[in-house]
């Protein structure tokens, strides 16, 4: 009994030591100081729309955000198509987490190469902008109409004039972005637009054309004075189109 009382405290001490939790903790690395970031953002002489971004910070994964796109390349070149002031953000990712710095570039003019197709200027009048209104005096004598999916004009029906929409206006411009607005007597609905010059398609983002269908519109006619769009539904009712007839504000047939 005496031996047991001698060994028991020793046993409890060893048991407590064996049960003492131990953790191998790895302390996180401190993030890189912003002052330690090394990178350059340069514009091509004589063509300041072209921007070259290069990371020189050792041991990091670079990430660029230039407003119109992103890149994770150490050295990346991009085109900023618009005139204006733009912020280029540089993120450096390391074991200590991301750190960000930025610089500002000034672009002198809209890129003549990017906007070389005449459709851009016909639709928008570049930075100045262009306003389109309904054209009920067009040769078809209607605002909207319907036809087969491959027609270039209304063959099935023509609408009666919609007096609720006849005073609507649409503006397009390239002043710092792809700007669009639908202006009605009661409100203005701003948005953006996408112009696919190769496929001759027009998409409105965040708004819509007057009496529109939130569609990717086919451009049937686009010249200095006329804009004819069509919402083409190939898979419905054997295929059909709804036509929209607009004209430059101030133009009369």
Q: What is the pLDDT of residues 103-121, one digit of tens each?
A: 999 999 999 999 999 999 9
Under the banding of pLDDT at 50, 70 and 90, the label for residue 29 is confident
- Write down the domain spans for the chain: 34-107, 118-248
Statement: 118-248 belongs to CATH 1.20.58 = no
Q: Give the Cα separation of 253 and 251 in Å (integer).
A: 7
Specify the residue for token string 């101030």: 250
User: What is the value of pTM for the model shown?
Assistant: 0.81
Percent share of the chain, pLDDT over 90: 84
Residues 6+ apart with CB under 8 A from 166: 134, 136, 143
Residue 148 has pLDDT above 60, yes or no: yes
The first and second tokens of residue 156, run together, are 């099935």
Q: What is the pLDDT of residues 56-74, one digit of tens each?
A: 999 999 999 999 899 999 9
Check pLDDT > 70 for residue 8: no
Our CA angle for 205, 251, 197, nearest 5°, is: 40
What's the rounded Cα separation, in Å, for the pair 154 and 201? Answer: 19
Identify the CATH homologous superfamily for domain 34-107. Answer: Immunoglobulins (2.60.40.10)
* 135's tokens: 């054209």
pLDDT for 26 equals 54
Is 6 exposed, middle or buried (CB count within 10 Å of its CB: 0-12, 13-18, 19+)? Answer: exposed
Alpha-carbon gap, residue 96 to 134, rounded angstroms: 58
Mean pLDDT, residues 64-93: 96
Taking only the tens place, the pLDDT of each residue in 187-245 is 999 999 999 999 999 999 999 999 999 999 999 999 999 999 999 999 887 799 999 99
Supply the mean pLDDT for the chain: 91
């Amino acid at each position: 009994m005496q031996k047991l009382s001698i060994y028991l405290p020793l046993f409890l001490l060893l048991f407590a030591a064996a049960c003492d939790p131990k953790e191998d903790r790895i302390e996180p690395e401190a993030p890189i100081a912003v002052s330690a970031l090394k990178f350059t953002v340069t514009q091509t002489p004589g063509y300041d729309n072209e921007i070259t971004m290069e990371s020189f910070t050792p041991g990091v994964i670079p990430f660029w955000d230039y407003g119109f796109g992103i890149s994770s390349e150490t050295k990346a070149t991009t085109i900023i198509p618009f005139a204006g002031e733009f912020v280029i953000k540089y993120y450096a990712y390391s074991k200590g987490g991301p750190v960000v710095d930025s610089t500002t570039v000034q672009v002198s003019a809209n890129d003549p190469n990017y906007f070389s197709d005449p459709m851009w200027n016909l639709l928008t009048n570049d930075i100045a902008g262009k306003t389109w209104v309904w054209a009920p005096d067009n040769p078809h004598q209607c605002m909207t109409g319907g036809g087969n999916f491959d027609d270039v004009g209304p063959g099935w029906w023509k609408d009666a004039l919609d007096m609720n929409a006849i005073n609507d206006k649409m503006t397009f411009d390239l002043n710092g972005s792809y700007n669009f607005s639908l202006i009605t007597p009661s409100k203005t609905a701003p948005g953006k637009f996408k112009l696919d010059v190769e496929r001759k398609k027009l998409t409105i983002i965040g708004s819509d054309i007057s009496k529109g269908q939130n569609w990717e519109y086919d451009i049937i006619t686009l010249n200095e004075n006329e804009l004819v769009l069509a919402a083409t539904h190939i898979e419905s009712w054997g295929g059909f189109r709804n036509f929209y007839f607009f004209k430059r504000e101030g133009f009369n047939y």
